[in-house]
């Protein structure tokens, strides 16, 4: 009830697109009833969470924060949300996000930006970006109006908003969480994961969300480990790699200092720290911004005004005009930009020059990580090149926005588990995140290193 009231009171943050108090309260009642009946509690019995609006939820509008999906109410539940309900959790509501998960500030939402609950302490009173695309999730957890929230991460959308708001979030290995019922952005990259106050809560939530699903062709048929039970802050016998290419030109001194602090912490926890090289890092961002739009342009072809949501059919219009009008009106500017980039790099004549090259770069980046794993168990880097920026600051310049993903995108291209954990604050008291990247399927090592830092 306290969380339901907090959601209702937090409207100025614009974190929730839909409130579903009955869903959350029913889960709490079910948990009470089970306890009264002497049943063993389920892992998330009665825990109220926020659900990113990229997840289809049965009978509850699901829009991916896009006008083109307004009026769409799924007849089915995504696998991940169903697993959370099966674990006993309840839904406080659907969370605002960047439209179709494209963005790093939550400003591409059709329903207005989310406002971070943080303020700088050193002057200026600007509203800050909560990060993106899971900006409703980060703001809700940071403002303590939800103990946890789902996020999705295609190129950093769990980790960067977690870093901007001083919370924790993990993108598991690609294939750990089913993509079934998650509105697609870039299918070879999209992964669901938890965002919560601390590492332990993330471990509990991830255990509930992960697992094989025959309905997702890229779902991994492997057992879900007991990550929470396996948590230990000792890194004795572990080697932590520091990739030298992440020391990018112009890195702000406070990010350097944060990184050094993280290195000291993992050393104090017993780890050996080694320098490693990921030589193709500088090509990751350009490759990502070819591959992700290419896949997006294909995935978004389904929004034709016939099957879902919005339809713009002026009097006398033919089918072609209906498609064109619906898509022109229904997609936001950033989504259109991605569709244009994607169709361009996939078109005959440019395919080999851009798309094929980007796929080759992707393989080289994955090989860089494979080579690094010969020398270390996890990698430690900053999550983002800065603290939260002000709303509007980067909105007019897409490239400046894309550059914010420089540290999160390489592990996405390689499908590796990666987590952001709070590591410190900048001069204005704003949170800064440290990122731990692990080997495929070794979420435990990622969680443990993050726990040592927390």
Is residue 53 near ligand GLN by the rule CB under 6 A? no
Residues between 273 and 332 with contacts to ligand GLN, criterion CB under 6 A: 292
Task: Report how far apart, in Å, the C-alpha atoms of 283 and of each of 144, 279, 292, 361, 440 are.
Answer: 38, 9, 14, 7, 21
Minimum distance of ligand GLN from residue 53's CB (angstroms) = 13
Q: How far apart are CA 423 and CA 24, in angstroms?
A: 32
420 binds ligand GLN (CB under 6 A): no
Rounded to the nearest whole angstrom, what is the least distance from the CB of residue 155 to ligand GLN in the complex? 3
Of 201, 216, 405, 426, which one interacts with ligand GLN (CB under 6 A)? 405
Least distance (Å) between residue 338 CB and ligand GLN = 8
| CA 225 vs CA 55, 88, 123, 228, 231: distances in Å | 24, 19, 46, 9, 11
Kindly name the residue from 104, 109, 116, 157 that is annotated as catalytic: 157
Instruction: Establish if 105 lies at the interface with ligand GLN (CB under 6 A).
Output: no
- Asked if 104 touches ligand GLN (CB under 6 A), the answer is yes
User: Which of 53, 77, 107, 153 touches ligand GLN (CB under 6 A)?
Assistant: 153
Choice between 77 and 190, CB closer to ligand GLN: 190
Active site residue 157: yes
Q: Distance between CA 208 and CA 167 in Å, rounded? A: 19
CA 178-184-186 angle, 5° bins: 100
Annotated active-site residue in 62, 66, 133, 134: 133
Asked if residue 448 binds ligand GLN (CB under 6 A), the reply is: no
Q: How many residues bind ligand GLN (CB under 6 A)?
A: 13
Nearer to ligand GLN, 27 or 182 (CB): 182
Between 373 and 402, CB nearer to ligand GLN:
402
**Site membership for ligand GLN, residue 435 (CB under 6 A):** no
Stretch that binds ligand GLN, among 42-50, 99-107, 136-144, 261-269 (CB under 6 A): 99-107
Give the span between the Cα atoms of 166 and 398, in whole angstroms. Answer: 25
Stretch binding ligand GLN (CB under 6 A), from 43-51, 151-159, 230-238, 443-451: 151-159
> At its nearest, how many Å lie between ligand GLN and the CB of residue 330?
19
Q: Of 136, 156, 169, 241, which lies in the binding site for ligand GLN, with binding defined by CB under 6 A? A: 156
**Out of 56, 95, 101, 206, the residue judged to bind ligand GLN by CB under 6 A:** 101
Sketch the per residue contact string, 64 through 83, with ligand GLN: x for CB under 6 A, - otherwise.
--------------------
* Crossing angle (nearest 10°) for helices 2-9 and 21-36: 170
Smallest distance from ligand GLN to CB 405, Å: 5
Footprint (CB under 6 A) of ligand GLN, residues 184-223: 185
Q: Does 107 bind ligand GLN (CB under 6 A)?
A: no
Of the candidates 102, 184, 372, 430, which one interacts with ligand GLN according to CB under 6 A?
Answer: 102
The mark string for 108-137 relative to ligand GLN (x by CB under 6 A, - otherwise) is -------------------------x----
- Is residue 198 within 8 Å of residue 149, measured between CB atoms? no
> Shortest Cβ distance from residue 353 to ligand GLN (Å)?
21
Please tell me whether residue 106 binds ligand GLN under the rule CB under 6 A.
Answer: no
Q: Are 52 and 139 in contact (CB under 8 A)?
A: no
In what side-by-side order are the strands of the sheet with 431-438? 16-19, 90-95, 48-52, 148-153, 191-196, 168-171, 418-425, 431-438, 378-382, 239-243, 272-276
Q: CA torsion sign, 276 to 280 to 285 to 287? A: negative
> Per CB under 6 A, does 96 bind ligand GLN?
no
Joined together, the tokens standing for residue 293 give 């739009």
Least spacing, CB of residue 95 vs ligand GLN, in Å: 13
List residues binding ligand GLN (CB under 6 A).
101-104, 133, 153-157, 185, 292, 405
Instruction: List active site positions.
Output: 52, 133, 157
């Amino acid at each position: 009830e306290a969380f339901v009231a907090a959601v209702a009171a937090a409207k100025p943050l614009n974190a929730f697109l839909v409130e579903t108090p009955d869903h959350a309260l029913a889960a709490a009642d079910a948990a009470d009833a089970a306890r009264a009946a002497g049943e063993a509690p389920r892992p998330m019995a009665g825990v109220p969470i926020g659900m990113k609006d990229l997840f289809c939820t049965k009978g509850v509008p699901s829009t991916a924060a896009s006008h083109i999906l307004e009026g769409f109410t799924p007849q089915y539940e995504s696998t991940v949300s169903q697993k959370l309900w099966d674990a006993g959790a309840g839904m406080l509501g659907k969370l605002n996000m960047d439209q179709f998960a494209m963005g790093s500030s939550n400003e591409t939402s059709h329903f207005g930006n989310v406002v971070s609950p943080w303020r700088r302490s050193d002057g200026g009173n600007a509203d800050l970006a909560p990060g993106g695309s899971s900006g409703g999730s980060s703001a809700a957890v940071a403002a303590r109006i939800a103990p946890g929230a789902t996020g999705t991460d295609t190129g950093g959308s769990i980790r960067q908003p977690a870093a901007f708001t001083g919370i924790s979030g993990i993108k598991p290995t690609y294939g750990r969480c089913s993509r079934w019922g998650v509105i697609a952005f870039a299918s070879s990259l999209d992964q669901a994961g938890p965002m919560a106050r601390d590492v332990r809560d993330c471990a509990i939530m991830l255990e509930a969300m992960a697992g094989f699903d025959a309905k997702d062709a890229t779902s991994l048929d492997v057992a879900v480990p007991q990550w929470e039970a396996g948590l230990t802050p000792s890194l004795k016998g572990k080697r932590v790699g520091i990739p030298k290419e992440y020391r990018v030109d112009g890195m702000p001194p406070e990010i350097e200092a944060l990184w050094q602090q993280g290195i000291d912490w993992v050393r104090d926890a017993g780890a050996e720290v080694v320098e490693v090289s990921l030589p193709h890092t500088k090509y990751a961002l350009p490759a990502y911004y070819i591959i992700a739009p290419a896949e997006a342009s294909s995935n978004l072809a389904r929004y034709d005004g016939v099957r879902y949501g919005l339809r713009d059919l002026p009097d006398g219009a033919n089918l072609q005009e209906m498609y064109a009008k619906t898509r022109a009106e229904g997609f936001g500017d950033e989504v259109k930009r991605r569709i244009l980039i994607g169709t361009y790099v996939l078109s005959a004549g440019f395919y080999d020059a851009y798309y094929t090259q980007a796929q080759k770069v992707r393989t080289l980046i994955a090989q860089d990580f494979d080579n690094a794993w010969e020398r270390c168990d996890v990698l430690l880097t900053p999550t983002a090149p800065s603290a939260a920026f002000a709303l509007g600051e980067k909105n007019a310049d897409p490239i400046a926005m894309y550059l914010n993903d420089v540290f999160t995108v390489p592990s996405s291209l390689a499908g590796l588990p990666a987590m952001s954990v709070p590591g410190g604050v900048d001069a204005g008291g704003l949170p800064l995140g440290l990122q731990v990247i692990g080997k495929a399927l070794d979420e435990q090592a990622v969680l443990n290193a993050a726990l040592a830092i927390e």
